[in-house]
Amino acid sequence: MKFGLLGRTLGHSFSPEIHGRIGDYDYALFEREPEALDAFFHEDWQGINVTIPYKEAVMPYCTRISEGAQRIGCVNTIVREADGSLSGYNTDYDGFAFALDNAHIEIANRKCLILGNGATSKTIATVLADKGAREILNIARHDAIPYSDIHLHHDAEVIVNATPVGMYPKTPARLIELDGFTKLEAVFDVIYNPHRTQFLLDAERLGVKSANGLAMLVAQAVVAAKYFIGIDDVAARIRPILRAMTKRDENIVLVGMPGAGKTTVGKALATELGRPFVDIDARIAADVGSVPDYIHTRGIDAFRALETAAIAGAGKEHGQVIATGGGAVTVAANKDLLRQNGRIYWINRPLEDLPTDGRPLSAGGLETVRRLYDERKGLYADFADVVLPPANLTQTVSKILEDFNEAMRD
């Protein structure tokens, strides 16, 4: 039996992995241009998921469409029956409903804004209505409330991004600012790569509940598999897959003073976990040569610009251990670049144990190091999800692994 995902651009899809975790069946990516749809529906496949831009375009090919998909007005799962006819369903509905519940986002009696008005937004609107939303409004560039009027709706309590704005590799990007929303309780982003879009990071900064689209993606896939191969333990399969994928893809990021041991700890973690190790300073040195010489000749501001570019590149990738330079925290933008896919640990080593040789900003000895620490300690604390007390290498690695494993269970 042959299953897969139909779409136009699918290079970064997580769907084959998810279906591989669900059951033992072949699952492929079917990239097709619009003019190739007719031919595709004569190809040999048993069932497909459908993504943008074809969730509405595939409906005429279906012999039967479920009541839910008819009500929503789009299809994302199609099964070829024994007689060759096609049955269409909308499992995105199940996926989004699960994701809201999983994130404990309350919808009843809330004013909800949906960013975008494509096929996915129709599913979202239906779920929000079924969960008792007080008001549901679309904000979009065409055929909806324009973004220029969003200030008229700063009393919204829930906002859902149903657009691809902010998706890998075009990070960071956002459609709207959240600062003006006075009653905001929760935001949801259908994007799952990166783990935290700029939209979600902004919500996090405001203390607003937030969730990405991975739970929605996994849940809709498991429900689709019910139609594909008849699995009956749908609910039991979703969370283990979600946890496994989140843990595998979340970066471990290390910050701390120059000489705090970030590289040593990072290499040990990478070996333990079988992950790539990324040393930001080493990546810069590979391009410009000696970092101290570069700072001496070009200045610290020029180096910081290179550092932020290197962090931007590393931060948007997945499943790594990243060691940052000691001054990475002095550029505020670096926090979101690292947080988009990472959990950040501050290695807070005693100052008298920090080496100073070959480190331009620490070259004045312990007093210089102490002044540098006093300037940066608040920044390290702000960046970090976890502060690690002084410990030896084995203990530090153990503490990070213990915390990381526990955090990925949530």
* Residue 247 is a catalytic residue: no
Closest by Cα among 106, 81, 76 to 15:
76
Half-sphere exposure at residue 249, Cβ-oriented, CA atoms within 13 angstroms: 18
Each as own residue / partner, the long-range contacts of residues 317-320 (CB below 8 Å, 24 or more positions apart, any chain) are 317/251, 317/341, 318/193, 318/248, 318/249, 318/250, 318/251, 319/248, 319/249, 319/250, 319/251, 319/275, 319/276, 320/251, 320/252, 320/270, 320/275, 320/276, 320/277, 320/278
CA dist., res. 90 & res. 58, Å (int):
12
**How many other CB atoms sit within 10 Å of the CB of residue 28?**
16
Please give the structure tokens belonging to residue 35: 């003019």
25 near 3, Cβ under 8 Å?
Answer: yes
Q: Which of 2, 55, 131, 226 is catalytic?
A: 55
Please give the structure tokens belonging to residue 358: 């070959």
Instruction: Give 145-180 as a 3 state SS string.
Output: ECHHHHHHHCCCCEEEECCCCCCCCCCCCCCCCCCC
Three-class secondary structure of residue 343 per DSSP: strand
CA dist., res. 232 & res. 237, Å (int):
10
Sign of CA dihedral 5, 8, 14, 17: positive
The letter for the amino acid at 274 is G
Where are the strands (E) in 185-229, listed by range?
186-189, 209-211
CA dist., res. 272 & res. 287, Å (int):
28
247 near 405, Cβ under 8 Å?
Answer: yes
CA dist., res. 358 & res. 322, Å (int):
21
Strand order in the sheet with 26-31: 26-31, 2-7, 47-50, 77-80, 86-89, 64-65
Q: Give catalytic residue positions.
A: 55
